[in-house]
Structure 1
């Protein structure tokens, strides 16, 4: 018998997630049936969406999330031992999968075999070659529709999606401003990733810096991937026909939604500067998933797209990695190596 460890949601998160909201349990898995295969987790992703999506499910579920796992036993010739899969299996060390069942479907995504990316680490399928990279690629290209010479402002620029989308902006000939939360991340964005400017919102006046950069750059139009309070500041600096892709709002995920502060009125800015803002879910592009993965892989091989992973070792440390990500302690993609 194979034993599985998994984190069970015993209380819905309220404000900051607490260790007592989850319980680590150990159970025995049954024998494989025909058509099934058994996987062991190698890398597990921790992402902002988990904080809000968990509230949609009943108490007692396995904590949600995606993982790269290796097939260690199989009674399905299409999924042989030794291959890797990616799937939304949740926070668990082992899983028995029936590929014809909907048990592990999440947003219409089924577990699937990973393509060979040769000497690159398989963990990239959870980041730059997965949902993270696809969010950056389609959010910028399809929603913002950038034109060479425009200005791109990215909040959360030190994280997985933000650092990625800023680099795509540079590939496309944009001037890129990243907003993040530490001097270390600012240096990484500018000195390694090629961002033109970086603003440390915890130690700098974002509005003043934005005003200064607006004067320097003469922004005729601008693009933004934004969330939280920073978005209001950015929106009030945008020029005519600016476009905004809203892919999350991590700054408010731990807040009490019944007592959020009233926002600054934005309608005049949208009307007189003819701005557009569109929220999106990556599930909108499932039919074009391969396009993004192949393009991002090409840019990696060409040296145009760099990545950084903050890896926490040990499955038992999933919760700490999750909370650390929500607090911005990661640089680039946050992962757990089981």
Structure 2
């Protein structure tokens, strides 16, 4: 174990899109775990779009960071020192930690990891929070039925890519929006989506939907917001369900966009629009994790991680989320 520990701290609140000035890398002694804690050598660190909201000085579902705080996020790594009877040194765990080389976590707040089921980064994606978000968001909020047309925005991301595959397992016709030909090809060729639309090369999203989903939309899983969502709202079928998971198109907006102007489009189809937070399903995480692990082990759900090497590059990995650099889950490899 090293004698020092590098960690990223929140340096200043950004105006609009964050940049390098929001982050400060510090070197400190390796922390000592207290009773009930684990000292984890971080193997992989998760960066996620919701973290942009934690940079604002406003209350939200995720507690805002104070300037000067160490940055926090999902981690997976190896226990190097245990002050708990639940885990031993050498065990692998995943949970909420810090953007650090070594992170102290409460043993009650982590879960064990089985490297035989999947590589470690998968526990920050398909077998972690994004996978559970897709599971509950689609099945509980979207309520897909065989034969439904399901449209997913941000479909090549960590959540959307799993949503589409679960929809296919439930007998649905699935269309995904993504931001490059490489991503749309991955969706159709590797993940089994029936169609995919490159929104960066499409001038008329409504017309594109008419081409690939001429019978309308029964379930819309929204990770993005903006003009894609505006277009999908014009195609909703009777009793359509809309699951609002994220709005990354607006995360860096300083002014709230005018609206909502599209609500009249929900009246005739009697569509249901519901926001979702995965934390609301915490008592059922075990069920979701077991099913997701089974699907992955059986090859019924594929996954992909975009890996950025080095803790020093964690801010770049986070900022890359807003330009669509990642395919699948964006993670940072801190240590082998």
| TM-score relative to the length of structure 1 | 0.91
Residues 1-338 of structure 1: matches in 2 within 5 Å? Answer: 2-55=3-56, 56-99=64-107, 111-204=109-202, 205-215=204-214, 218-219=215-216, 222-226=218-222, 227-229=224-226, 230-256=228-254, 258=255, 260-263=256-259, 265-338=261-334
Measure how far apart 1:308 and its partner are. Answer: 0.7
1:96-139 deviation digits (Å, cap 9, x = unpaired):
3454xxxxxxxxxx532314251521221111011110010000
Structure 2: gaps spanning 5 or more residues: 57-63
1:69, distance to aligned residue in structure 2 (A):
1.9
Contact 2:127-2:289 at 8 Å conserved across structures = yes
Moved over 6 A (4+): none
Change (3 A) 1:187 1:36: closer
CA distance in 2: counterparts of 1:51 and 1:22, whole angstroms: 13
Q: Partner of 1:107 in structure 2?
A: none
> SS state of the match for residue 200, structure 2?
coil
SS in 1 for 2:40: strand
Cα distance change of structure 1 residues 191 and 32 upon mapping to structure 2, 3 Å threshold: closer
Q: How far apart, in 1, do the equivalents of 2:187 and 2:32 lie?
A: 49
Alignment RMSD: 1.7
- Using the TM superposition, name which of 160-169 and 75-84 deviates more: 75-84
User: Structure 1 residue 54: deviation in Å?
Assistant: 3.1
**Structure 1 gaps, min length 5:** 100-109
Contact 1:315/1:337, CA 8 A, preserved across alignment: yes
**Hey, what's the Cα distance between the residues in 2 that align with 1:35 and 1:198?**
48
Q: Secondary structure at the match of 1:43?
A: strand
Give the count of matched residue pairs.
Answer: 323
Contact kept in structure 2, 1:131 and 1:282, CA below 8 Å: yes
TM-aligned CA distance change 1:158 to 1:77, over 3 Å: same
Deviations 1:275-296 (A, max 9, x none): 0000011001000001111111
